[in-house]
Amino acid sequence: MNITFLGTSSGVPTLTRNVSSLALKLSQSAEVWLFDCGEGTQHQIMKSNIKSSQIKKIFITHMHGDHIYGLPGLLATLGLSGNSKGIEIYGPSGLKSFVVSSLSTSFCKLSFPLSFIDVENFASNKKTLFENNDIKVNCVELKHRIPAYGYRVSEKDKQGIFNIKKAENEKIPPGPIYAELKAGKIVKLEDGRSFNGSEFCGPPKKGKSFVYCTDTVFSESAVYLSKNADLLVHESTFSKEDEKMAHEKLHSTTIMAARTALLSNTKKLIITHLSPRYTQKSAITPSDLLKEAQEIFPETSLAKDFLTVEIN
């Protein structure tokens, strides 16, 4: 899996940072999953290495405009291009009404089906939001001014490498039997011998995990969601100097994001959703924000638009 940041500013766009959006490219397929879709996201996609036709799922954290205003426009463009076969949209219960009313009042008819999945029940009951043979998605409610949700995408462990040489030495005939052994099944041959497939496979390859948490003040649920994750992308709207403002607006400081990573035993942290008050010409710069977080959690990086990161 890898991620591409399409927008890393909070509230409003700047000349160098668009508002919130992130694309996750799956290693098991050609699918792209979008997380948040602030205004201008489709323009950011066009400037990136992401193909909009590959977007199959969109996960929205909450209903603030800097996270959703780009969604109707992106869907309309996909409809005009005719490249999409259908998209699943996950988010708060008000999301469907917003999208449907935006499209209908602008007389936009999509050429592909949309399906909406409300996440509240999944979050409150700690139920898996989505799952297939390769991957699963979970979510939790964060702590913001309105209902907001964090998402975790976890690859399932992969079967270890199949030892063909060992199978040949045991004179096991190739074909469908090898597939069963690769799957770890117990196979019985016509000559009466039986073999356990797990004895022919190397150790399983652990799947990777990615967590996306924005917008939120420090939250124990974010720590729970991020437990032992390979990569945590967490909002850091404010510097530690502006902690009072962070609590008032229910956003995170750099210290809160770093503390979440530390307590959850996350391998790597990337801070994003930076307030536009912090520029290279300000008293506190984005580089200063990075240093603040690294004092608590050294494995921290700073997000910027179009940054692509492999999750490993």
Are 21 and 117 found together in one domain?
yes
Confidence (pLDDT) at 279: 94
User: How would residue 67 be classed by pLDDT, with cut points 50, 70 and 90?
Assistant: very high
Domain span at residue 300? 2-158+205-308
Q: Which of 66, 215, 242, 305 is catalytic?
A: 66
For residues 181 and 24, give the distance between their C-alpha atoms in angstroms, rounded to a whole number.
32
Confidence (pLDDT) at 294: 98
Are 237 and 301 found together in one domain?
yes
Are 125 and 183 found together in one domain?
no
Are 111 and 232 found together in one domain?
yes
Mean pLDDT, range 215-241, rounded to an integer: 98
Confidence (pLDDT) at 211: 98
Are 152 and 263 found together in one domain?
yes
For residues 219 and 213, give the distance between their C-alpha atoms in angstroms, rounded to a whole number.
10
Are 106 and 87 found together in one domain?
yes
Are 148 and 215 found together in one domain?
yes
Asked whether the predicted pLDDT for residue 19 surpasses 80, the reply is yes
264-293 exposure pattern, b = at least 16 Cβ within 10 A, e = fewer: bebbbbbbbbbbbebbeeeebebeebbebb
Are 168 and 233 found together in one domain?
no
33 contact partners, CB below 8 Å, separation of at least 6: 23, 24, 26, 55, 56, 57, 58, 59, 153
Last residue of one domain, picked from the residues 183, 200, 217? 200
Mean pLDDT of the chain: 95
The answer to whether 288 is a known catalytic residue is no
Q: Per the structure, how many domains does the chain have? A: 2
% of residues, the chain, pLDDT over 90: 88
- Say which range, 45-54, 103-112, 192-201, has the weakest mean pLDDT: 192-201
DSSP letters of 71-129?
HHHHHHHHHHHT--S-EEEEE-TTHHHHHHHHHHHTT---SS-EEEEE-HHHHHTT--S
256-311: pLDDT as tens digits: 999 999 999 999 999 999 999 999 999 999 999 999 999 999 999 999 999 999 99
Are 234 and 302 found together in one domain?
yes
Confidence (pLDDT) at 205: 85
Are 195 and 210 found together in one domain?
no
Which domain CATH number covers 16? Answer: 3.60.15.10
Confidence (pLDDT) at 82: 86
Asked whether the predicted pLDDT for residue 104 surpasses 80, the reply is yes
Distance of CA 84 to the CA centre of its chain: 21
158-179: pLDDT as tens digits: 878 889 999 999 999 988 999 8
Residue 268 backbone phi and psi in degrees, to 5? -140, 145
Confidence (pLDDT) at 130: 98
Are 296 and 212 found together in one domain?
yes
Asked whether the predicted pLDDT for residue 28 surpasses 80, the reply is no
User: How would residue 24 be classed by pLDDT, with cut points 50, 70 and 90?
Assistant: very high
pTM of the model: 0.91
109-127: pLDDT as tens digits: 999 999 999 999 999 999 9
20 contact partners, CB below 8 Å, separation of at least 6: 7, 8, 9, 10, 36, 38, 61, 66, 67, 214, 272, 273
Are 266 and 169 found together in one domain?
no
